[in-house]
Amino acid sequence: MVTRALMQAPCTMVLCLLIMSILVMQIDSSPVDAATADELPLADMQRHSDHRVIVRYSSTLTGESAAAEIEKQVHKLESQPNVVRAQSLPRLGMAVVSMASAEAGEQLMADLQHDSSVELAVPDTWVSAFDLFADSSNPPDVAADAHRALRAERALPAQCSAHPACRMRGLVGDCCPAKDGMMLSCCSSQGKQLFALQTYHGTYVSAGPDGEVSQAVGTLQDSEHFEMIFHADGNVSLRNDYGKYLRSDEQGFVRADSTDLTDSEKFEIVKNENGTVSFKSYFGKYLAAEDGGSIVANRVNASLWEQFSMQQLAAPGQRLPNDPAFSKLWGMHSYHGFDIDAPEAWQVWTGEIGKGITVAVIDTGIDYNHEDLSEQMWVNPMEIPGNGVDDDGNGYIDDVHGADFANEDGDPMDDQMHGTHCAGTIAGIGNNAVGVSGVAWRGVRLMALKFLTSTGSGRTSDAIRAIDYAVAHGARIASNSWGGGGSSSALRTAIERAEGAGMLFTAAAGNEASNNDEVPSFPANYDISNVISVASTTYLGEMSSFSCYGNSTVHVAAPGSGIYSTVPNNGYETLSGTSMATPHVSGLAALVWMYRPQLSMHQVRDIIIGSVRTLPALDGKVITGGLINAKDALEAAWAFDPPKPPAHAPQAIEFEDIDPRIGAYGGVVTITAAADESDIDYYRVYMVSGAGFQLEAVGEPIPATGEPELTMELNASFVPPMYARALVAVSGRASGEMPARLRGLAPHVDIEDYGLPILGPKSVSWIGDPDTKKDFVNGSLLVERATDEASITTYNVYWHAESGARGPMLGSIAAVGFLEPVCSGTSCGLINMNRADDGAYVFERRPYGGLEDAEIRASGPGSVELTYFDTEDYYDKLTIGDEELHGNLTCCLPTMELSDGRTAIKWSSDDSIHGAGWSFRLRQEGSTVELQIETSEVLGSGFEVVPAYEKNELMSGMIVVEISGGAGKSQSEAYRGGKRRLATSEPSWGRRIGGANIPASNDKVHPTSVHAKQQKEPWLLQSGLETRSSARVIWSAEQVQQLSPFAARHGRVRSSFMVTGLAEEACTKPAIRAAFVQALAKQLPGVEESDVRLVRALGASIEEARHATPQDQVGWVRVEFEIEPSEGAHIIDLDRIESQLILLSIGRRPAEKFGSALSLVLKASGLPHHLMASPLDVVFTAPQQLSPRMLAAAPLLASAAEHSGDRRLHGAASPLFV
């Protein structure tokens, strides 16, 4: 954390407005049009100076085998002029290229058209998160017929023989568990909602078998259990555990002795602001818990005694977690019944004992330290945390839990809240008595892939890079609560190629309350068979007011209004949006996949889509007409045979770490084979947590060969998750694998990190000896800490004998994580750094250039004192901890205090205006520590200071300080040759020089003492194609043309452009509309005039026209058009058209060229001068490439009962999505 000691002076309003106007003019030359620039938050503006092109290579260049060829192509790109950087995405067969200017990007796109290995080059675009803060107002009550429909649906037959799904399985009786414990619909308590009513006094409402209603204290008993029965009129009844209903009379007496449902047994639920509820009787009086222990219904007003807390209880066939906030998770379980039936699913499966699955959360990042998420985080097994090295060579340093593509580093910490909120719904740890529960309690590995900034916006190219990372590191599910803007064939292709890797892609439908069939929202609208598009519902089963929908484009709905989940800093928050609905689907996909690991991605998708519970409010709004249902999804997955692991287990496992790197484990795993291998094909080793939960696998499976002992040499070391405590050896075969548990048949071995320090103290000096007694010393040992203490926990101090032997331990000094300033980044060589006489580090960059990037890491406590600072405001900035500095601060230079721990100082500049530069002084405290040695008998010739990591310390290369006991002299000979020391003037701390365990006798030593704030809704890009209420139709095509047969198979591209300086009257003239068509055909590649269809012309509103300066007040018009490909055209031609339209929408110069060309065509058409200004100003909106409409709804595979002849679900997408 950084504290500002002196705040910079605020600018005046006039100055701020002046700066803003300059900024808007500057980004005209960037690849973002004025329309986008006005909507972008200032925090994101500087990133527009990075002009990017996404290069899509031939589909043959994908996968590991083509990685070398992709790298070769990228190196070729990097050699071209004006290419700042090129990054390969080999798993997707793509590359992201950063250019020095917008013009250079356009030129590169033109050049790549002649490269036979390139399918297409696409300009980069922007997207944003789909979330809203929950509204405090309650949604309207659901219609009475919805209540009746739900209750009729859940009035299931009691006998298995009467239920198709049960009958198909040959199950009989009133209650029929399947062979793996699955409670089927015919015998479960679907829809049964059990509660306990806690009073203001802390007691519980109790209704005994004799009908008496009173208050009870202590542990909940059967008498305190009530089932809530819903009525069509919106009222409820409370039935106790003995089958009797609570009733009240006109006098206010309350009994529980009725078996009939009349008006006396009905109550209206009134919600209170503090989260409690009150019950109003048919007679208009409130139920009250009196101080004396009685329950009455005679109160006119609801105060404290009339308020009750509803505590959910597990009904038969349900399992509820003990997490304190579970009652707030209405999407999982609600007394209204419009939830996903999570407790019914958890009765069967929670993921606690299964094989794990990795879910990539592509979002704003995740707070991986959160109390309810940290144990669920994915850990990169090849990356050593905190060593500042790219151990796995993937281009990201310390990408332990994922990566940050927005800020180009390996730390995906959430600086917004959106991604952390989504992660909690997917896999917040369930039943841990903390916070909330995710759909999947355990087993999920959350991979944090941050590409959205703190404002909620991000670049399409960064989303593609995140997808490539997810595929490369084995994610099976990608959760995507973002979208907006137009389509991008680059993003579509990335999702298609991720499908080839078996990845499921869940996507939020959008928050614009529009029909996605008419106004698409991407990526949800991409017609790819690994995509599930998700709408949002309320707790009353209605479509959320903000949710997008689409009868042929949105697949399912999930709870999304008022969703409570995790946010950074161990917080919890309620948010609304299709962003909140999508994680419910992602979590359910993980739960199903862990339940039946052998399923293909398409089978999991079909199960989720085919197991929805239909609701009247969703009919015609989503393809399935239903809300996802966890219980029914697991029931559909039940149709597949469960895993059948071997009955015999290995007898023992041994492992000892020999990798000296901190946090990395390597060596040989030895497994003693099972005594009987008749049912075993292989053995496998897993990491398990201290709580006994299965984590990632280590190495490859070891075939069972009949040998009594098997070994697995870990050629590549692994990095375990934070909570890994042991290795477990399990046996497996084709039909299944035994679970890895600490307490079970499988043997385990605890793991202990054998890490060695890689650095040692810089110097050691002895100050003494004031004690003149012979053979005694008294003084201080001064130790200058290592330049980086990441691999050191203590400095152990020993007596050193003349013979070279190590004597008794004198004490130890604790390491504090000290780090001398170190610079990383492409611009470190440009920064002047030196050490002042007073010990401060001086950094200076005066003047600086464009596109500089550097990061200086150091440890506190200390301070950073700015001595000069002048940079371009907003764009060129120095970030110290959490503080961003930019602009001219010469008048009031601040001093920043550095707290304990490591801090990063980041410098970046764009390629436009530059300031004079900056300089600062960095002071560090605690670089030297003192070990006080009281009067002690001399037990050696000197001291030996040995750096150690936990119980492991270096054997040689230590610093030795000679002393002379009783002579009153001191001698410091820091580095001497000898048997146990390096024969160099300085120790080579950077290389391994052997290690040893600290003797047990020396273990006992005595070291010397030395909730989130609510923010505005994130910026949401608008498509610009929907009709605004203020827009006026000037001209419209008389009849909406049907798609040509070719277009019906291959789709079309839709877009529009706004023209300033053109009178509305002009659009009514056929010759002018023909001129529009001619201009578009000339601008777009491979397009004939017959391919262009004008849809309509609108008089643009002030809202739409605010993106540019009107000229001469002649007028504004907006022209909407579609491009339908000619017969024989290829799908790639449509992508090229879309790419050119993207360039027109984000580049000022291409639009200017089109405007000039349009002016010439209009003049040639004979348009009178008074109807047109010169020159014309044209702004394009983002294009939307539309795939063919899906076929008419066909029956989805709704349950396993429909597949009694074949217990396998189809491996491909269901016919609806072909």
Catalytic residue list:
363, 418, 579
* Rg from Cα positions in the chain: 35
Residues near 1040 by beta carbon (within 8 Å), at least 6 away in sequence: none
How does 784-804 read in b/e, with b if 16+ C-beta sit within 10 Å? Answer: ebbbbbbbbbbbbbbbbeeee
Angle, CA of 192, 194 and 200, to the nearest 5°: 150
Q: How many CA atoms lie within 13 A of 119 on its CB side?
A: 21
Name the residue among 206, 281, 277 with its Cα closest to residue 250.
281
- 106 vs 51: CA distance, rounded Å: 10
- 335 vs 315: CA distance, rounded Å: 12
Q: How many CA atoms lie within 13 A of 110 on its CB side?
A: 7
If you ran DSSP here, which 8-state letter would residue 1091 be given? G
What are the start-end ranges of the H helices in 546-629?
A: 578-595, 601-610
Which tokens in the block code for residue 102?
Answer: 């917008």
List C-alpha distances in Å: 962 to 799, 941, 957, 1020. 10, 6, 15, 69
Do 1054 and 1024 touch, CB atoms closer than 8 A? no
Q: Which residue has the tokens 């605020």?
A: 10
Residues near 427 by beta carbon (within 8 Å), at least 6 away in sequence: 359, 373, 376, 438, 439, 440, 441, 444, 446, 587, 590
Do 540 and 141 touch, CB atoms closer than 8 A? yes
- 631 vs 653: CA distance, rounded Å: 38
How does 823-862 read in b/e, with b if 16+ C-beta sit within 10 Å? Answer: bebebbeebeeeeeeeebbebebeebeebbebbbbbbbeb
Beta bridge partner(s), residue 227: 194, 239
Residues near 589 by beta carbon (within 8 Å), at least 6 away in sequence: 477, 504, 506, 532, 604, 605, 608
Pairs from 71-78 (Cβ < 8 Å, separation ≥ 24)? 73/117
- 263 vs 248: CA distance, rounded Å: 9
Q: Which amino acid is at 854?
A: A
Residues near 924 by beta carbon (within 8 Å), at least 6 away in sequence: 818, 820, 821, 841, 858, 859, 860, 861, 862
Do 224 and 232 touch, CB atoms closer than 8 A? no
- 873 vs 20: CA distance, rounded Å: 10
The 3-state secondary structure of 1007-1038, one letter per residue: CCCCCCCCCCCCCCCCCCCCCCCCCEEEEECC
Name the residue among 468, 641, 484 with its Cα closest to residue 87.
468
Name the residue among 330, 340, 414 with its Cα closest to residue 584.
340
Which tokens in the block code for residue 169?
Answer: 């399985």
CA 1180 to chain centre: 32
Name the residue among 242, 248, 251, 201 with its Cα closest to residue 221.
242
Residues near 464 by beta carbon (within 8 Å), at least 6 away in sequence: 54, 89, 92, 94, 96, 490, 491, 494
